[in-house]
Amino acid sequence: MSNFANLKKQSKLGSLTEKLVKEVEKMNNTGGSTDERFWSLTVDKSQNGYAVIRFLPAPDGEDLPFVKLYSHAFQGPGGWIIDSCLTTLNQKCPVCEHNSGLWNSGIDSNKEIARKQKRKLTYISNIYVVKDPANPENEGGVFLYKFGKKIFDKLTAAMQPEFEDEESIDPFDFWKGANFKLKAKNVAGYRNYDSSEFAAPSPLLEDDDDALEALWKKQNSLAELVAPSQFKSYEELKTRLESVLGTKGSRRMDEEVNDEDDYRGPAPSLTEDLRGELSSLKSSRSVASDDEDFDELSYFAKLAE
Ligand SMILES: [Zn+2]
């Protein structure tokens, strides 16, 4: 087989995309990050990684120790759309509206597209890096950290333990919180954070209030990450969506169903099912493997543009 024929065969198999994604991941792992305020876990080739981090309290003048951000990241015939979703601001989002239309069409192939294009949820907090074996220079630093629902669930579980023999902790507390042992491993080809866990509660920085106050002042604003100025307008997003989808003119979608949660239906387990389905879809491998892959994905998408 000629090299060119081989290239074409690989294209058909989707292995070129896979290769590219792997390369980008490698670049990310060697400091290819675009925003130095953000820390991310370095993983080895087999997706295994370990670090100890501490979630930090709400920054000075802000109410919450985390912000919630919805975004869209997918590829259409006209390229990629990588944008924050306006539902983050409780506003109407043209991408979500388009997806609702697809979902409500009742056609299976449309539903599949809606799944691929759905908004993804990430949380962002300030963290203190206690231990980062792959990048020791990060230790002692304050960073922003973007994480998905799995880790957020571990934070809420720590605040509201399931069993009465478990002490509730505020994982964002300087004095009564606990270090978080972030453990990534490869499960069926995808990065998985299930093994991550809290250490026993202990004050940060040996309970030294002066040091803690200095640390607190180094924290990044979270509110500004989700300030309306960080978002494209409805019209801008709609124009981008149309160019990505290669459509001209737009269809009016039902405003009542502009939230993905509305079409998840009554079964609470559907989210997990959906995740499983996405994971098993070979074609979506580079697109929607896990919330945690968001960094790599946006980087890859920018590169592809
Ligand atoms: Zn949206």
Distance from the alpha carbon of residue 2 to the mean position of ligand 1, in angstroms: 44
Overall average pLDDT of the 70-86 stretch: 94
How many angstroms is it from 156 CA to the middle of ligand 1?
25
Query: What angle separates helix 3-13 from helix 15-29, to the nearest 10 degrees?
Result: 80
Res 160 pLDDT > 50: yes
How many angstroms does the Cα of residue 46 sit away from the middle of ligand 1?
Answer: 32
Residue pLDDT, tens place only, 259-293 = 434 333 333 333 444 444 334 333 333 333 344 44
Distance 297 CA to ligand 1 centre (A): 17
Q: How many angstroms is it from 141 CA to the middle of ligand 1?
A: 33
Contact present, 259 and 96 (Cβ < 8 Å): yes
Phi and psi at 215, nearest 5°, equal -65, -45
CA of residue 298 to ligand 1 center, whole Å: 16
Q: Tokens 């709400």, residue?
A: 58
- What letter does residue 172 receive in the DSSP assignment? T
- pLDDT of 241 above 50: yes
Model pTM score:
0.70
pLDDT category, 19, cuts 50, 70, 90?
Answer: low
26 — pLDDT class (breaks 50, 70, 90): low
CA–centroid distance, residue 217 to ligand 1 (Å)? 33
Distance in angstroms (rounded) separating the CA atoms of residues 151 and 158: 11
184 forms bridges with which residues in the sheet?
49
